[in-house]
Amino acid sequence: MTQKPAVGCLLEVLETLVLTVVIFFGIQTFVAQPFKVQQGSMENTLLPEQYVLVDKLSPRWDAYSLGDIVVFEPPASSSQGSGVPFIKRVIGVGGDIVEVRDGLVYVNGVRLDEPYIFRGTDGVQQQTLATPGGATRWVVPEGALFLMGDHREDSADSRSFGTIEVAHVVGRAWLRYWPFDELSILEVPLYPELASPAP
């Protein structure tokens, strides 16, 4: 083999590697990104050490809605400087009024049916309580989301740090892919009760 074909072969390999790296980072930046769950705030829907795929593309035309599970940059006051993104469920979108009373969540005056809320070993679903001494009613500004973890007693969320601007949301978690035997699409509840006017 002459030196010229060897150099040409090496250049082709380098071009392929560079293109692969560019595509990989392009997909992670604009399309989808893997995310490792590191907190217990979404139990039992998502457990620590599980991996989900975060959709970063569709929110550009399909706005976040009630029930979506999203990954976001937490406020500096709640992240303790760790830089680890949070994962929570959308409970209110711009214009919604979210209330916590008697251990339940109300959106625009309608009590939410939330079957995903954590249940203890006794099978009893946790109550949703406001932060001690904190607000019990929030008006969600346009361009913001009100977020809560499914493990309500083990979740630093909008009850303590308020709403999160959509600009700080990384994307919508839609697929749990690891461990492989837990592979599943993360279903979004429909909340049919919100389709009817409050009594």
Catalytic residues: 41, 88
DSSP, collapsed to helix, strand or coil, labels residue 73 as coil
Write the CA distances from 25 to 37, 56, 71, 178, integer angstroms: 21, 13, 18, 21
Say how far residue 7 (Cα) sits from the centre of its chain: 48
- DSSP characters for 85-139? PEEEEEEEETT-EEEEETTEEEETTEE---TTS-B-TT-PBPP--PPTTS-SEEE
Sign of CA pseudo-dihedral 57, 138, 66, 108 = negative
How do 110-111 and 104-107 pair as beta strands?
antiparallel
Name the residue with tokens 């308020």.
162
Measure the CA–CA gap between 148 and 138, rounded to whole angstroms: 13
Measure the CA–CA gap between 88 and 189, rounded to whole angstroms: 14
